[in-house]
C-alpha cells in the first residue's frame, strides 16, 4: 500500500516531475513543522536554518508545479 502511494514514475516526464515535486512538497512541509517545533525550544541556530531551507524548497516546488501545470495546459 505504501509502495503505491510513493510511486513517483508517471506516464511521461511531466507527470514524473509533478509526482516528485508533490512528494518534495510533502516532505518539506513535514520538516518545516518539525523545525518550527524545535525553534520553540531552541530559538537560534540549526532550527532556524532548517526553517529557512524548508521554506525555500517549498517555494521552489510550488513554483515548479505551477510551471508544469502551465506547460501541460498550453
pLDDT-derived band at 12, boundaries 50, 70, 90: confident
pLDDT class for 11, splitting at 50, 70, 90?
confident
Yes or no: say if 8 and 19 are a contact pair by the CB < 8 Å rule. Answer: yes
As a whole number of angstroms, the distance between CA 36 and CA 54 comes to 10
Check residue 3 and give its pLDDT.
Answer: 61
- pLDDT, position 53: 95
Q: Is residue 5 part of a domain?
A: no
In a domain, 51, yes or no: yes
Return d(Cα 74, Cα 66) in angstroms, integer.
Answer: 12
Count of structural domains within the chain:
1
pLDDT tens digits along 24-68:
999 999 999 999 999 989 888 898 999 999 999 999 999 999 999
Indicate the pTM of the whole model: 0.82
**Is residue 44, in this structure, part of any structural domain at all?**
yes
Q: What is the DSSP string of 19-69?
A: HHHHHHHHHHHHHHHHHHHHHHHS-SSHHHHHHHHHHHHHHHHHHHHHHHH
Residue 29 lies in a domain: yes
Q: Is residue 63 part of a domain?
A: yes
Boundaries of domain holding 67: 13-73
pLDDT at 56: 96
Amino acid at each position: 500500500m505504501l509502495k503505491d502511494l510513493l510511486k513517483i514514475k508517471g506516464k511521461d516526464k511531466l507527470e514524473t516531475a509533478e509526482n516528485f515535486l508533490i512528494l518534495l512538497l510533502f516532505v518539506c512541509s513535514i520538516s518545516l513543522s518539525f523545525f518550527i517545533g524545535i525553534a520553540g525550544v531552541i530559538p537560534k541556530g540549526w532550527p532556524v536554518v532548517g526553517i529557512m531551507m524548508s521554506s525555500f524548497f517549498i517555494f521552489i516546488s510550488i513554483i515548479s508545479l505551477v510551471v508544469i501545470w502551465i506547460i501541460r495546459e498550453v
